[in-house]
Structure formats: C-alpha cells, structure tokens
Structure 1
C-alpha cells in the first residue's frame, strides 16, 4: 500500500449515489473479512458491489482511499464509545470496575465492528491511518483527563492530561497487540487491566501524608 495521503472521495449528494457508495463500502468490508488486506483490490470490490470500475473510481481513486474511509468510520465510532464511557466515570463509585469494563468494551468493539481487527492492523501501512488514530487518541485522552479531574480523591498535583494520554495509548497499543494473533490473546487483556489499575491507583487514590 502506498504511503501517500489518499485523496478524499467525491461526496454523494443524491440518494442513489449514497446507496452506491454504501454498497462499495460494504463490499470492501466483506472482502477484508473474507480475504484480508492482501485480497482487497478495486476490481474485486467493484465486482462484489455490483458496480463497474469507473463508477467506483468516481468515488474512490484507489483501494487506499477506501481503506482510509473505512478506518475513519471505525475510529469515529470507537471515539464516540470512549467519550460516552467517560461520562459514566465521573459518577462511578468503583473506577477500577469502570476501567475493566472499558477495556472489555474496546476489545469487543474490535470484534463486533466488521473488519475492525484488520483495519487496526493496517495502521502500520499508512501515515494517514496513523494520523486518524492519533486524533482519536487525543480526543479520548482529553475526555478521560476531564473525567479524572472530577474524581473526589484525585491527586491535585498530578498532570492528568499526561496520565490520561499514557492510559489511552497503553490500552490501545496492547489491545492491538493482543488482537494480532488468531485467536486473540485474551490473557493479555487481563494483564492490561492489572497494569492499568496499578498505574492509576497513586493518582486516583493518593495516600494522605503522614
């Protein structure tokens, strides 16, 4: 796959055009699930979508632009899920249980979102995908830092933005690593929960000076 930035597709305005783009995107997802990245090409996508290749190129210049489009949708939904979860952290009595739940939720999201695992694996192939991932990480970190700041026992001297960034980055990268294998390394998820809890405890439950 090329390292260049993929051109954005032409945005469909009419209902028929939107349906065509939806078929192209679904065909690409189905091919990723069935064949993986190596089996994805524009001719195969067009065939499965039931459109001619010139129609596909009218919306997507190449397969890379399709992957970017799908990855952006995945990251948007993933970010929305994290942002929604941080709202619950503010009022959660047990932050450890909340953190365990969010790790489980992010792991499940990779499985439930069609081709989610494969799209995350594609990160190393494209700087544009990495930029989208960085943006999602930054948004999630900001939301988590705000939620941390409203916890009643939080360490007032802690750099919560940095702590949140370390937390989100660690969770994201170790989940990616756990899902590199088939089946996923679920034991790594449990270790991730322990690691996260031990890292956050001094900041969210600081001991009073004696």
Structure 2
C-alpha cells in the first residue's frame, strides 16, 4: 500500500483499525483496536492516539452487545479500577501505515494507560463512535451512515494528520473492502459488484454544511452540500 506520504489520504477504518503496531525495533506492541480523535476549535477531527485492549475494542460491537461485553469485562477486572480504560500510544509516533502500523521509536515503554480525566474530556471521541452512525441528508438515501473516515497527513509531520472527509451512504462500515480506491488491487468482478452495491455512497468534506452531533449520535448534512462519488 505504500507509506502515508505516498498516498493522497487513507481511510481510517480500512487502513488502521485491527492492524498490528510495530515499534522501530521490530517489537510487536499490540493491535489498533480504536483511534482517539480530538475535536479542534474549528470542528476538525485530529487523531491523537492509537487505542489498544478490550476497553477500546468492545465498544465497537455496538451499544447493546458492546455495552454488555464492556460491563462483563469490568466485573471480571473489578480489582483494578483503571482496567476499564484502554492503553494508549501517541499518534505522533506513527511513521508508516502499510500492512501494519510502524512507529518511529522502539516499542518498549510506549504503551500507557489512558487517564480518567482524558477519557472524560468532551472534546475527545473515538473512530468507533462515528463508524455506522446515521447520516441525515436530503440528498442521500435513507438509512445512510458513516462508512469510513478519510485522513490526510505525513509520517514526518507530527500533528498534521487530520480527518478531512467522511465516506457516507447505505451499507455497513468495512463493506467497501478498499475497492473504492485505485490503489487497492483485486478481482475486477468483485470490484464491479462492490461498486454496484455502494453506488449511492459519497465522500463529503468536513466543514460548512456538515455537523457531527456527538450527543445525538448522528451526522447532519445540509441539502446542496457537495457529495463526491467514490473513485473507481
């Protein structure tokens, strides 16, 4: 897939979630179970950390199943009060994203437990909180949702990574399998089927006309906002 700098953006769910994280010393650190985002003053979404462990993974199963699994995990680990918080690796250490996520520093000592005040910060959210939430827009089919988040950034430019757009439409997150991108090779017949199934999916840039309502758990897009077709 090449490094971040060689691509014009990459999709968070497709290219980051569930990838192994490797330190500069080739030490396996863990797996990306979620990504923490901070809501900037201008409304932009800026990635700040890779999240690892069951407290990061379980909520991705949805509010019902994920909530039940998270409660069970807390009961099992009730002797350790901080075990309901994920482990964190600073996103600025991400150097390359390919078949795995490579960091710029050796792996030993990079993981730390998320602090309670950080977890309670209303400016912070997770990619898992956004994938699959409803999208309200008169120009999109009913039951549209967030399918993925498209990010831009350079591995040697700390702090420059940011989510610039959302992939929205009917279907479910992850179902595109990368076939919306020319850089993802695959059987032409499969690509044709995926393109047809997601023919109503669109890319919308974050900014004016796009509101992410974290409390309501939905995205609202004003009628007439530019909705670009997926690249085939």
TM bucket normalised to smaller: under 0.3
- Higher-helix-fraction structure: 1
- Higher-strand-fraction structure: 2
- Using structure 1 for the length normalisation, give the TM-score: 0.26
**Rg (Cα) greater in structure:** 1
